[in-house]
Amino acid sequence: MTQIRPFRPGDEPALADICLRTADAGADATGVFDDDEIWAEVFVLPYVAQHPELAMVVETDDGRVAGYVVCATNTRSFEDWFATSWWPQFSGRWPRPMKETTRQDGTLIYAYSRRGGAEPYGDDYPAHLHIDLLPELQGQGWGRKLVEALCAELRSREVSGLHLVASADNLGALAFYERLGFTPLASHAGVQAFGMHLH
C-alpha cells in the first residue's frame, strides 16, 4: 500500500533520482547538465543531511520511494550552513563559473551565491520546502498530503511561516501551490515564490 513515511538513511539515491527526473520545470532533466548529480546536491541532499527529521517520502506498494518533501525550518541559518559547510566540498568538482553561458552555469552560480539573507522570503516565512513527485504519483493527492503533514510538523515546532520557490514555467506546480493555500509573492524573473503563514 502506498504510504507516507519518515525519511530514512539510505533513501538518498532515490531522492536524488526523483529530483533529477522532475527538475526541468517538472519534467525529466537527465542530460540537461553535463553532470546530472548537481541537481540533487543543490536541491535535496543538503536538506536530508541537515534536517532529516523534517523529510518525508512517499513509498509505493512495491517499496520504492517515488516522492518527497524536504524542509529547513530557519532559512537564514540553513543557507549559511549550505555556504560554509555543505557546498565547499564540491568546489573542486564544480568550480564557480566565470559567467552564465549554460543552465548548469546558472545553477552553479546560484549555489555559490547562497547565504543567509540572500532571499527576502525567509524574513516573513522562515521555513522553506522542496517537494517532488514522480509522474506516477502526481494528481492523486500525495503532494497535498506531504505538504499538510509537513505543515503540521512545523506548527508543532512553532514555526510561523513557510515559503517555496518554483519555476515560472512549471504551470502545474504554480496552480497546485495556490490550491494548497500558498500566496504568490513578488519574485525574480523566471521563478515564482509562494508563502503561507502557519499561525
Distance between CA atoms of residues 42 and 48, nearest Å = 12
Find the CATH number of the domain harbouring 111: 3.40.630.30
For the chain, the residue count is 199
Exposed, middle or buried: residue 198 (CB in 10 Å: 0-12, 13-18, 19+)? middle
**Domain annotation covers residue 191:** no
Q: What is the mean predicted confidence (pLDDT) over 47-56?
A: 98
Confidence of residue 156 (pLDDT cuts 50, 70, 90): very high
**134 located within any domain:** yes
Is the residue at 146 inside a domain?
yes
Exposure string for 85-120, b = 16+ CB within 10 A, e = fewer: ebbeebeeebeeeeeeeeebeebbeebbebebeebe
Q: By residue range, what is the domain housing residue 102?
A: 3-162
Mean per-residue pLDDT, 69-82: 97
The total number of structural domains in the chain stands at: 1
- Residues 128-146: what's their mean pLDDT? 96
**32-43 tens-digit pLDDT:** 999 999 999 999
In a domain, 168, yes or no: no
